[in-house]
Structure 1
Amino acid sequence: MIKQTRKIAILGAGSWGTALASTFSMNGNQVILWGKNQSDIDDINQNHQNRRFLQEAFLDKNLKATTDLKDAVKDAEIVLFVVPTSAVRQVAGKLASILPSLKNEIIFGHAIKGIEVDSNKRVSQMISEEIPSIKEDDLFFISGPSHAESVVKRAITLVAVASSNQARAAIIQAALSNSFFRVYTNSDLCGSEYAAALKNVLAIAGGIIKGLKMTDNTQAALVTRGLSEMRRLGVALGGKSETFNGLAGLGDLIVTAMSTNSRNFRAGLGLASGKDLKQVQKEMGMVIEGVKTAKAVDQLSRKNNISMPISESVYKILYENAKIDDVVADLMNRPLISEE
């Protein structure tokens, strides 16, 4: 059976956008990667690398890149947003002004793991607000345990593509799957988006635990009780409980909360070493999604009266200058309760 290839535009030339673009491209799809930084685009086109984000990794040689948004999407069948959460509305707004001039029918989706602060909107809600012609139910979302650094090295990776429109999810599944990158589908867009965002906050806690030289016992406790927090809030906001046991939930939480490939984990390591948030962000030089998401999660948990003691502790460290030792002591001295 001959695999159908697609024309695909990836919006966002950071590490994850680049890794996805290269994977789509090596599957025979015609892929254009859009980014703002001309030096990154030149590196991709001339050297088949994106050394600012992925250092020594080599990308598929057929991958093309551009700084021209209209050129990127003009013939696309699939458009995938992979920009930071804070840039979603700006990029979607620019795309909205371009779409009326296009004749091609496009499937839209994203691979962004965040929640907007104050509005507390999911990314799919933000995109559909900025581009009224796109319905949230028609969007897809790619997530799961998938560090970009491993994907570009062709490490065996499993992810999930979530969408209320399963026919569209199946198209993405076929276009992205290969011998090392396996894609599953699920119908829970809402739950998958919340799971992907919430685990970033817990990943900061994972880095703190590692930085304090705590044991595997503590890391396992974080993953287990952190997952309970994610599920409580996600289900209260419309997600399905089973989604949090899958790739979008538990799978992504494990890989993010226990690996130095995670920016959020590395941020936690920095905080545990005594650095303040500004210093950690400056040294990282890249967006740490869990930092802003921690604020959004604090707002959502308070608004919905959902107990999230670990996430609340991360918020206190990030935004209230709470001492890590005091936060850990407070967690361990909470009233004893049932695990349920």
Structure 2
Amino acid sequence: MLIRPRRARTTPAMRRLTRELEVRPSQLILPAFVRDGLTEPVDIPSMPGVQQHSLDSLAALASAVADAGLGGIMLFGVPDEADKDATGSCGIRADGILNRGLARVRAEVGDATVVMADTCLDEFTDHGHCGVLTSDGRIDNDATVERYVQMAVSQADAGAHVVGPSGMMDGQVAAIRAGLDDAGHTDVSILAYSAKYASAFFGPFRDAVGSSLQGDRRTYQQDPANRREGVRETELDIAEGADTVMVKPAGYYLDVLADVAALSPVPVAAYQVSGEYAMIEAAAERGWVDRERIIAESLTSIVRAGADMVLTYWALSAPAYLAASYE
């Protein structure tokens, strides 16, 4: 007897009936950049359609995120160069641009969407690394974790529902959990960047945040060749109290994402990073790919691999593309 699986694909209605998953707007999180000193948004050349925001335009963007029913908005701060120092102190201060952005967004949207904060020092250090350096230029893991705790508490004070430690320091999740609890922020969640790789796909992001990076981050971010290490790092973060774990980048690490999803008792996020975004936008601009279909397919593949939520720069526009792809 000839088996005919194509019977499940004969019409749009049949395909809708037999479809295994559909990506919901509530699964999408919009990364957003707030830059000190702006009065109007500024385009990011390497990320067409993405902008650095003023406080006013950021508030409007957050309102759009809430109105669209998205899962949340993740904020990154872009300070003045003069405010950067060796320890990233402007990322911790209440009057720093990221904490002012968090306060403004929370005042705008309240609990209508989830307000998230990137908990890392790289945007705020004059050397561009994710933490405090020793005298010989290495990352001091434990001194950096102390700064992350201060940063997470300041972000919670500013109104963040979720803090996102992304620096890949050992022990960061447990320390931040203890620091938040001691400060009375027992309801603030931790989204742990658990499997974050030293990826070339982060390039446009460094343009977006005005990175001052000197050297690279291979001593603390993961080797792209390592799959099992992503699982090990995730298990450690779960044991330390992470409420959500994340794989970054997403699209080129679907094997790691599937491994993490298979073992995780907590929700799993994936970050469709700036390089993934820029490559699709560049190819679409040249007419080489169908932009809307490839955006929808890329997001579907990330969720199919096991992500419960996706950080994507297309979060506001993607629901329409996804809906069209399901016809």
TM-score, normalisation: structure 1: 0.32
Which is helix-richer, 1 or 2?
1
Report which structure shows greater RCO (CA 8 Å, sep ≥6): 2
